[in-house]
Structure 1
Amino acid sequence: MDVLVTGGDGFVGRHLCSELLDRGHDVTSLSRTPDPSVLPSEVDLQQGDVTDYDSIEDAFEGKDVVVNLAALPPLHQPPKETSHDSVCIGGSINAVEAAEQHGVSKFVEMSSLGADPNGDTAYWRTQGLGEKVVRYSELDWIVFRPSFIFGDGSETFTFVRRHTTPYVTVLPDGGDHPRFQPIWVGDCVEIFADGIEDDAYDGEVYELGGPEVLSFGEVARMLYEADGKSVEIVPVPMVLATVALYAVDPIPSIPLGVDQARALKMSNVTDHNDVGAFGYDESDLTTLSAYLRGEQRHRPQRRPVPSD
């Protein structure tokens, strides 16, 4: 198959492009500023911005499948020149329209666990609305809703290290919230690739989580322990943290604000983990602690077709 991946040189995209190449597919990465240093040389690079239809349309010609990974990081407020609305909603509209115009067979949308058109934060609200664009299209489609994806290049690791300190760090409610169900990027892209290859998965929304539920504080401790450092977490009341984030919201130089205050109270855990539909048992998946020890695991290569 000939597969186009929007955001193909991003964190998830670079892993997915490599996985698809390993399976024998032709792969094109579409991004605003293509970075050949993070992708295999066999990947075709195309420049385009999903918020600008004319800049991306030609890249969809002759493609069998489009995978839309384009999104802004959920943990920071977006830069002034863009927004979650323009990327998650506008980008999905443009990508779907281009796919329909060029006769693409299947559209795969990476959304996020917690996506909801009526969500409390701009990120989850626009993810939910972006899903609607895909699901109401004329295309065969799949929507994936992963929890926090971890691995080499993970934005979440960068966020944790940037906003905590080793040895002693202050966290709202001692870091008990938010709670995640982290899934390793290697497991995640295998599931995505299975969905791309097998039409039996079409027309469904799949929630994906890893084998354990962890709090923000537990993730921070694991990261610092992997660096050979301890961390003592000093709790502050959630209400004080919320007031502080609301107060800094108008300050452009601080990438935190109201949405991050709301996100502190949310849970990013699956209601029903759909990894089983792709032949995984949760015990087959790589845990965060195993990854940090360099002990990634892989499932058997047989990929069963889901039953009707």
Structure 2
Amino acid sequence: MSDGARTGDDSNGSVLVTGGTGFLGLHTCQYFRDRGWDVTAFDLKPFDAADDTDDIDFVEGDVRSEASVTDALEESGATSVVHAAAALPLWDADRIRETTIDGTRNVLWAATDRDVERVCYVSSTSVYGTHDEHPITEDSPLDGVGPYGRAKIQAEKICRDFRRMGLCVPVLRPKTFVGPQRLGVFQVLFDWIEDGANVPLVGRGNNRYQLLHVRDLVSAIELMLTGDEDEVNDTFNVGADEFATMREDFQAPIDYAGTGKRTIGTPAFLTVAVLRVLDRLNLSPLYPWVYETAHEDSYVSVEKLKRLGWEPEYSNREALVETYEWYLENYEVDEVDDETGLDHRVAWDQGALAVAKTISKRI
């Protein structure tokens, strides 16, 4: 393994990005391409035709197959891997386990066999569950919510196993991240704002809920691949440095839209109960990790990562407003889209929430 550090503008760097055509994957591929790296995206489906992917190679494959990952590494000649492939919380439990746990093991074995220098694993702050004490640090207890959070915990254990075997495996735990190209659950929010509806919150909205801009996450990934190996071969939280309450931050894109509407607090216990029922009936795009935690404080310390020189550029409000700007300029409804819940880059069917939006517009 390499003992030294590379610089971010090293044109000889080569990286394979798993999940490379998804939301985070696309931004990661573009970021490293722009810095002179040889970049290969590895994913089940190709880029969209409108994506800026000049000089980015694509290899079709599945992280659930070690042979598929090995073939991609051989074809790309990558010396580093960003393992961003992930199962979303709305997927079924079996596929979450196969993608997150088995997929991570496959990527790390293939990387070891191919003498890859580093594998940066993108985990999640969902490994913490909910906590009474904040900010949450990397040493806080882990209590993952649902199959998604528990699978991330198991995948991190596998990363630690491979560290002991000599592979450099930095692990990042990002907060929910937004930015251009982000749809998914945030498309629901933006659709309500564009249509001039008030935006109801789960709870009163007085809780502090940290977000993250995807470009700040990608800059952290760059640090993991270029920083001193002894320093980065560890686990780090990633999140915005500037954030207020949920009510205040989510008001920012509403104010930008100029509709005169506002965020509206609700009784948390009642709202959660209703969303649980809608979830069981498959009438809501919101999964438990969203509605069970949205009324709680949720923010992490990023001091450990900042000590390595990382500095976030975006506040919560700036990240939300820029993402909403992109949405207004670029989003077009795709009536035939059938990938609801499977990708952050597609719109999700609002189900019963569409009725709630109509009511909210009249308040």
Q: TM-score range, shorter-chain basis?
A: 0.7 to 0.9
1:237 paired to 2:253 = no
Q: CA RMSD in A?
A: 2.7
SS in structure 1 at match of 2:29: helix
Higher share in strand = 1
1:277 is matched with which residue? 307
Select between 54-63 and 113-122 the one with higher mean Cα deviation: 113-122
TM-score (structure 2 length as normaliser): 0.70
TM-score (structure 1 length as normaliser): 0.82
1:160 paired to 2:189 = yes
Cα distance, 1:180–1:235 mapped onto 2, change above 3 Å: closer
Matches within 5 A, 1:1-308: 1-35=13-47, 37=49, 38-61=51-74, 62-74=77-89, 77-78=90-91, 80=92, 83-116=95-128, 118-137=143-162, 138=165, 139-155=167-183, 157-161=186-190, 166-177=196-207, 179-200=208-229, 201-281=231-311, 285-291=313-319, 292=321
Select between 137-146 and 151-160 the one with higher mean Cα deviation: 151-160
Q: What fraction of aligned residue pairs are identical, expressed as a percent?
A: 25
What is the CA distance between 1:39 and its match in structure 2? 4.0
SS in structure 1 at match of 2:97: helix
Cα distance, 1:210–1:81 mapped onto 2, change above 3 Å: closer
Q: Is the 8 A contact 2:25 2:84 kept in 1?
A: yes
SS in structure 2 at match of 1:141: coil
Q: Distance in 2 between matches of 1:94 and 1:30?
A: 14
Tell me which amino acid in the other structure corresponds to 2:23: F
Q: Distance in 2 between matches of 1:14 and 1:257?
A: 24
Tell me which amino acid in the other structure corresponds to 1:212: E
| Higher-RCO chain (CA-CA 8 Å, sequence separation at least 6) | 2
Q: Distance in 2 between matches of 1:146 and 1:81?
A: 22
What is the CA distance between 1:259 and its match in structure 2? 4.0
Q: Is the 8 A contact 2:42 2:61 kept in 1?
A: yes
Structure 2 gap ranges (5+):
1-12, 129-141, 324-363
Select between 25-34 and 65-74 the one with higher mean Cα deviation: 65-74
Structure 1 gap ranges (5+):
295-308
Tell me which amino acid in the other structure corresponds to 1:268: S
What is the CA distance between 1:5 and its match in structure 2? 0.3
Q: Distance in 2 between matches of 1:185 and 1:101?
A: 31
Q: Is the 8 A contact 2:17 2:82 kept in 1?
A: yes
SS in structure 2 at match of 1:236: coil
Q: Distance in 1 between matches of 2:214 and 2:25?
A: 10
Cα distance, 1:55–1:293 mapped onto 2, change above 3 Å: closer
What is the CA distance between 1:59 and its match in structure 2? 0.5
SS in structure 2 at match of 1:27: strand
What is the CA distance between 1:48 and its match in structure 2? 1.0
Task: Please list the CA deviations of residues 198-249 of structure 1 after superposition, one character each: whole Å capped at 9, or x if unmatched.
Answer: 2333321111121222444334322222222232333321111221122223
SS in structure 2 at match of 1:9: coil
How many residues of Structure 1 are paired with residues of Structure 2 in the alignment?
288
